[in-house]
Amino acid sequence: MGRSLGLADSKQRKLLVNAGFGWLFDAMDVGMLSFIVAALAAEWSLGADQVGVLTAINSIGMAVGAAAAGSLADRFGRRSMLLWTLVIFSVATGLSAFAGTFALLCALRFAAGFGLGGELPVASTLVSESVPAKDRGRIIVLLESFWAGGWIVAALVSYFVIPDYGWRIAFIIGALPVLYAVYLRRAIEDSPRFKKQEGVRPSFGQRLAGIWSKPYRTSTIVLWILWFTVVFSYYGMFLWLPSVMVLKGFDLVKSFQYVLLMTIAQLPGYFTAAYFIEKFGRKFVLVVYLLLTAASALWFGNAESEGALLAAGACLSFFNLGAWGGMYAYTPELYPTAVRATGAGFAASFGRIGGVIGPFLVGYLIERGASVAAVFAVFVAAILIGVVALLLYGKETKGIDPDNVSSPQAAGRSGA
Torsion of CA 27, 29, 31, 36, to 10 degrees: 180
Query: Does pLDDT of 386 surpass 70?
Result: yes
Q: What is the pLDDT of residues 310-322, one digit of tens each?
A: 899 899 999 999 9
Q: What is the pLDDT of residues 274-296, one digit of tens each?
A: 999 999 999 999 999 999 999 99
Query: Does pLDDT of 95 surpass 80?
Result: yes
Q: What is the pLDDT of residue 304?
A: 83
CB-based burial, 97-132: b 16+ in 10 Å, e otherwise: bebeeeeebbbbbbbbbbbbbbbbbbbbbbbbbbbe
Among residues 298, 211, 201, 309, the alpha carbon closest in space to that of 262 is found at: 309
Averaged pLDDT for residues 2-13: 60
Query: Does pLDDT of 221 surpass 60?
Result: yes
Which amino acid would we find at residue 44? W
How high is the mean pLDDT of the chain? 88
Q: Of 106-120, 318-332, 355-369, which range is least confident?
A: 355-369
Averaged pLDDT for residues 201-217: 93
Q: What is the pLDDT of residue 253?
A: 46
Q: What is the pLDDT of residue 246?
A: 66
Query: Does pLDDT of 6 surpass 80?
Result: no
Q: CB of 267 within 8 A of CB of 145?
A: yes
Tell me which of 323 and 30 has the higher pLDDT: 323
Query: Does pLDDT of 347 surpass 70?
Result: yes
Q: CB of 372 within 8 A of CB of 248?
A: yes
Most confident among 100-114, 133-147, 189-203 (mean pLDDT) = 100-114
State in Å, rounded, how far the first CA of the chain is from the last one. 46
Q: What is the pLDDT of residue 415?
A: 35
Give the span between the Cα atoms of 85 and 373, in whole angstroms.
39
Looking up residue 116, the CATH number of its domain turns out to be 1.20.1250.20
Query: Does pLDDT of 73 surpass 90?
Result: yes
Q: What is the pLDDT of residue 20?
A: 94
Q: What is the pLDDT of residue 410?
A: 40
What's the total number of domains in the chain? 1
Q: Can you say whether residue 204 is alpha, beta or left, with left for phi > 0 and alpha for psi between -120 and 50 degrees?
A: alpha
Q: What is the pLDDT of residue 3?
A: 47
Query: Does pLDDT of 4 surpass 70?
Result: no
Q: Of 175-179, 196-200, 321-325, which range is least confident?
A: 196-200
Most confident among 41-55, 201-215, 378-392 (mean pLDDT) = 378-392
Tell me which of 30 and 107 has the higher pLDDT: 107
Averaged pLDDT for residues 188-196: 89
Averaged pLDDT for residues 218-236: 96
Query: Does pLDDT of 324 surpass 60?
Result: yes
Averaged pLDDT for residues 376-396: 97
Q: What is the pLDDT of residue 255?
A: 55
Burial status of residue 321 (CB atoms within 10 A of its CB: 0-12, 13-18, 19 or more): buried
Query: Does pLDDT of 8 surpass 80?
Result: no
Q: Which domain holds residue 62?
A: 2-413
Q: What is the pLDDT of residue 2?
A: 46
Q: What is the pLDDT of residue 134?
A: 85
Averaged pLDDT for residues 233-242: 81
Averaged pLDDT for residues 384-408: 85
Q: What is the pLDDT of residue 121?
A: 95
Give the span between the Cα atoms of 232 and 361, in whole angstroms.
10
Query: Does pLDDT of 252 surpass 50?
Result: no
Query: Does pLDDT of 232 surpass 70?
Result: yes
Among residues 1, 11, 110, the alpha carbon closest in space to that of 64 is found at: 110
Which band of pLDDT confidence, cut at 50, 70 and 90, is reported for residue 395?
Answer: very high
Give the span between the Cα atoms of 103 and 115, in whole angstroms.
19
Q: DSSP letter for 336, please.
A: -
Query: Does pLDDT of 54 surpass 60?
Result: yes
